[in-house]
Structure 1
Amino acid sequence: MPTVSPRRAGLLQRQLPMTWRVAIAFAAMSMAITGLLAVVTWHLASSYLLSRREQGATTQAAVDAHLVQEVLRDPRRNWPVDLIQGLAGGGDVTVALRRQGTWTVSGPAQDVPALPAELLALAGSGTPARQRVVAAGQPVLAVALPVEGGVYVEVAPLSGLDSSLRFLSAVLAAGVGVSGLLGLGLGSWAGRRALRPLTELRDAAARMAAGDLDARLPEQDDADLAPLAATFNRTADDLQWRVQRDARFAGDVSHELRSPLTTLVNAVAILRRRRDELTPTAQQAVDLLDADVHRFRTMVSDLLEISRDERIDESDLEECDMVDVVTHAVGARPGIVVDVATTPPKVLADRRRLDRVVENLLDNAAHHGGGAVRVGVSPSSDGVRVEVDDAGPGIPVELRKEVFERFSRGGIAGRREDTGGTGLGLALVARHVRAHHGRVRIEESPFGGARVVVEIPRGTT
């Protein structure tokens, strides 16, 4: 008996959802039970009908053989040809008499002499016999009885009974198939109902992973599910509190840094104005300090932005034309082509956040991708699609999700010569796009670099 390896069984479990596995199990169990009942029913019905048919044919043959025997014993009667023809009576039973090696046959054409020799031999020796055989391609029942000086045979057709049994088997097989479909439907319904709490848990976890920290499970009345829902909600509350605490901390730190940062910026500005009065070594130090202070100021601004509440206030929503947003962001940046395929629809969004998204994408391309070469705006399936192509070396597939994390700058992170980015630009892009229920991803660019694709739906809540 073939067996399924554990590896293949595990593969099947991963390929088939649990709901389908439950439905298939219900269908298999239903078909097994109804199949067993069908086999038993068919066996009992066929045995009963065949037994009744054999008993009826045997009884009728015995009565007819007794009449033939009476005729043969009466010396005043001639050869009972008329009786044989009368017993056949134009019905579907073939009647035959063998006496002194000669056969007299009446009724439907049957090759009576070709019946099994053992059957005729038993009757010839004085023992009644019957046997189911196939004659002329049709199932028949042959009954052979000993008579005075010969053998009397009746051949009754079983084709009608065979047709009835075939119909019965077809009905039973159809019933098994229907029970399998009903079991599949019942199993699918039961599986969905039983897995509904897990589906709610999956959806809530997915919403939290997407940034919706308000996602919670509804309270459960079931004694087994209530602890799960309570634990998940308690964990979600703790996570939301920690995220909000970290955001407040980042915001507080950023606010506290603004005053000393302003002092540093003003001091560096004074040094820049008197740069020519300094020694070459001091000039180099001023340049390094100016670059780091500029990067520090950008980082503080990004930290203040990322510490804000991700949810969009309805009062900030307005109809925005992405072509206008892109054109405004590109501004006087040289070498960037704005490609508008067709007139894209307007979107209901926070204009400030959309401006920040496009600005950050252009800055990211300038700092890490050799500069943006094209910005495309086109309609998408449910809103607007924005593409930013750069001329850099591209982004490896394994880093295309990581670059949207905070303080992630790919393979150049931590290198001294990287003075442009803060590692928060793409994280802010992902945050603002997610707040609009949009999508952002990185693809290969036909210009040889990376293509950042942003899709914003028409409306948001």
Structure 2
Amino acid sequence: MSLQRRVMLTFAAGAALVSLVLALSVYTVTRTYLTDQREQSVTRQANADAAFVDSRLRAPHAVPRTILEDLDPPTGTMALLRVDGRWHASEPGIGQDILPAELWPAGDVGFGTAAPVDIAGEPYLAVRHTLDAEVDFYEVAPLRELRSTLDVVHRVLVVCAVVATLGAALVGFWASRRLLRPLHQLASTAVQVADGDLDTRVPASRDRELTLIGDSVNRMVDSLQERIERERRFFGDVSHELRTPLTTLVTAVGVLNRYRDALPGRGDQALDLVETEVNHLHRLLEHLLALARAEAGLHQDEPETVSLGELLRNVLTDSGRPAELLTVRADTVVRGRKLALERAFVNLVDNADRHGGGLTGVTTGSDGARAVVFIDDSGPGVPEADRETIFERFTTGRSGRGATAGTGLGLALVAETLVAHGGDVRCVDRPGGGARMVVTLPAVAAEQDPP
């Protein structure tokens, strides 16, 4: 889950928890208060009605039913009277069976107790008043209005809690966007710097904390840019200083080769060793300079659309290999630096010849939106444990892969070049024996023109 969603959920969960606690507290306090008020009101009314009934019963020839009919209780309120064991009701069809057991006659003169009772699914409050040992007055008042009021309060509190939660989520969304906007700017700047745009800087902010972070990042980029400039100058100086003596050595070996017949046997062997090591040093220097140029961002050409079939055909013919080794299943087009891609494929075919027993074929095709190239050799293959380490710097193959020692940089340069182009390279077994280098690159439309 993203940070923005976590912030939103935190705000929403916090608001929901607070709203729940407040809603429960308000509902509990409101229900207790309204219930107490209603009970007091019913009790006062029952006391007044009990006093009226008591005074009428003391009159000679009092009739209990007539007394109940003369009562004027609130709407929906029912009254019952027990006199000498006989029950009388203010409404027909009701009797002592509607009363809760705790309010049945107890024999104590005076106000008894009040208890809730459910009649036909409706809430009521029953109050007992004992007038004497043989007379009990009951009044049963409805609580429908109280329940309706509490239901309204409950719905209002639920709606308020939901609205508060949604509002907090919106506030969290706004706050997270405001909080993450500078971080997105930092991330965008870091990505552009990582892609080589060292002139990108974090924009200024009005927030003091963010300004401190932005200034720190900008200072870091400034320092990085200065260091890269120093490395580029160092690269130029080193390349010049190394090329000059190496060129002299190559020239000297060439001169000695012209007089090889005049050399004694051991001198001839020594010249072979020197020539081999000079050539090895020359390849090593070329690879080192290529890696240094790639890391320093010093490219010899600009990105363009390249036909892989044409590029591979040129690689084979320019290196003196027969073009028949190439099989074009689909002439895919990629975008990249042509010279760097050529160097990468030259290293792969050279590796197949030097360390893989000889190049047997190059196949290019497509796999969905990606271009695929297979470089096959006829050697013993690469052990599975070494299939990733061979692309590391200064890693040379085991003796089983060939007798000629490599620089340990050719495949590393291939891997870095392909990664810089959005692709990759891996080593697998070739059907029928040998090793197969599988190169994948993002394909583009063949008709696309370079910008």
TM-score, normalised via structure 2 length: 0.76
Greater CA drift, 247-256 or 282-291: 282-291
Contact 2:127 2:138 in 1 (8 A): yes
Distance of aligned partners of 1:151 and 1:201 in 2 relative to their CA distance in 1, 3 Å threshold = same
Describe the SS at the equivalent of 1:80.
Answer: helix
Q: Deviations over 1:54-110 (max 9, x none)?
A: 234334434443443344333344341683598689x64443222222333455976
CA deviation vs aligned residue, 1:195-236 (integer Å, no higher than 9, x gap): 433343344334444544334322333333333322322222
| Structure with bigger gyration radius | 2
> Residue 127 of structure 1 aligns to a residue in which SS?
strand
Aligned to 1:258: 243
Give the letter aligned to residue 98 of structure 1: R
- Offset of residue 237 of structure 1: 1.8
User: Matched residues in 1 for 2:237 and 2:275: separation?
Assistant: 24
Q: 1:380 to 1:216 in 2, by over 3 A?
A: farther
Equivalent residue in structure 1 for 2:87, among 80, 103, 111: 103
SS in 1 for 2:204: coil
2:362 paired with 1:378: no
1:302 maps onto 2:287 in alignment: yes
Amino acid at match of 1:289: V
Partners of 2:354 and 2:174 in 1: CA distance: 54
Is 2:309 the partner of 1:323? yes
Matching residue of 2:138: 153
Equivalent residue runs for 1:265-284 within 5 Å:
265-272=250-257, 281-284=266-269
Q: 1:411 to 1:351 in 2, by over 3 A?
A: closer
1:119 has 2:103 as partner: yes
Q: Residues 274 and 127 of structure 1: is their aligned pair in 2 closer, same or farther, counting only changes over 3 Å?
A: same
Query: How far off is 1:265 after superposition?
Result: 2.4
Query: CA 1:322/1:123 → structure 2, altered by over 3 Å: closer, same or farther?
Result: farther
In the alignment, does 2:186 pair up with 1:201?
yes
Distance 1:206 1:248 in 2: 25
Residues 1:393 and 2:382 are matched in the alignment: yes
Instruction: Give 1:372 shift.
Output: 7.9
Which of 165, 178, 184 in structure 1 is aligned with 2:150? 165
Q: 2:274 aligns with which of 289, 314, 320?
A: 289
Residue type of the alignment partner of 1:358: F
Aligned residues: 434
Separation of aligned partners in 1, 2:166 and 2:386: 44
- The 1-side partners of 2:23 and 2:403 are apart by 80
Cα deviation, 1:290-322, whole Å, max 9, x if unaligned, reads: 332223223333344445462779x84543223
2-structure distance, mates of 1:394, 1:272: 39
Which shifted more, 443-452 or 324-333? 443-452
Identify the residue that residue 442 of structure 2 maps to in structure 1: 455
CA gap of 1:282–1:453, structure 2 versus 1, over 3 A, is farther
Instruction: Write out per-residue CA displacement over residues 298-354 of structure 1, whole angstroms, 9 at most, x where no aligned residue.
Output: 3333344445462779x84543223332343355369966464x564x445433333
% identical equivalent positions: 31
Within the alignment, does 1:353 sit opposite 2:340 as a pair?
yes
Between stretches 207-216 and 79-88, larger displacement belongs to 79-88
List per-residue Cα deviations over 1:386-440 (Å, max 9, x = no partner): 344666426759957x946xx4437779xx9663335155346525753x5x343
> Residue in 2 aligned with 1:8?
none
Q: Structure 2: how far apart are the matches of 1:57 and 1:174?
A: 32
2:337 aligned partner, one-letter code = D
Distance 1:55 1:364, change over 3 A: farther
Task: Show the 5 A alignment for 1:175-254.
Answer: 175-254=160-239
Aligned residue runs from structure 1 range 332-347, under 5 A: 332=321, 338=327, 340=329, 344=332, 346-347=333-334
Give distance in 1, aligned partners of 2:106 and 2:10: 55
- Tell me which moved more, 158-167 or 226-235: 158-167
Which whole-Å CA distance do the structure 2 matches of 1:160 and 1:337 have between them?
A: 92
CA RMSD of aligned residues (A): 4.3
Aligned to 1:420: 406
Where structure 2 has 5 or more consecutive residues not aligned to the other structure, the ranges are none
Change (3 A) 1:234 1:368: farther
Distance 1:30-1:270 versus aligned 2 partners, 3 A rule: same
Deviations 1:356-393 (A, max 9, x none): 34334444565666768664442655xx4334466642
Q: Which shifted more, 385-394 or 43-52? A: 385-394
Cα distance in 1 for residues equivalent to 2:427 and 2:158: 54
Contact 1:377/1:385 (8 A) holds in 2? yes
State the distance in 2 between where 1:208 and 1:347 align. 24
Given the alignment of the two structures, is residue 409 of structure 1 paired with residue 398 of structure 2, yes or no? no
Give the AA of the match of 1:393: V
Please state if 1:131 is matched with 2:115: yes
Contact 2:387 2:428 in 1 (8 A): no
Given that residues 26 and 184 in structure 1 are in contact (C-alpha distance below 8 angstroms), is that contact kept between their aligned partners in structure 2? yes
Stretch moving more, 323-332 or 44-53: 323-332
Q: How do 1:27-106 and structure 2 match up within 5 A?
A: 27-80=12-65, 83-84=68-69, 92-105=76-89
Distance in 2, matches of 1:84 and 1:373, equals 115
Q: For residue 345 of structure 2, give the secondary structure of its aligned residue in structure 1.
A: helix
Q: Which runs of 5+ in 1 are unaligned?
A: 1-15
- Give the conservation status (yes or no) of the 8 Å contact 2:308–2:364: no
Alpha-carbon separation, structure 1, partners of 2:8 and 2:222: 36
Separation in 1 of the partners of 2:355 and 2:424? 18
User: Could you tell me which amino acid in structure 2 is paired with residue 47 of structure 1?
Assistant: T
The aligned counterpart of 1:144 is 128
Aligned mates of 2:15, 2:436 — CA distance in 1 = 58
SS in 2 for 1:235: helix
Q: Which amino acid aligns with 1:440?
A: D
CA distance in 2, matches of 1:417, 1:229: 55
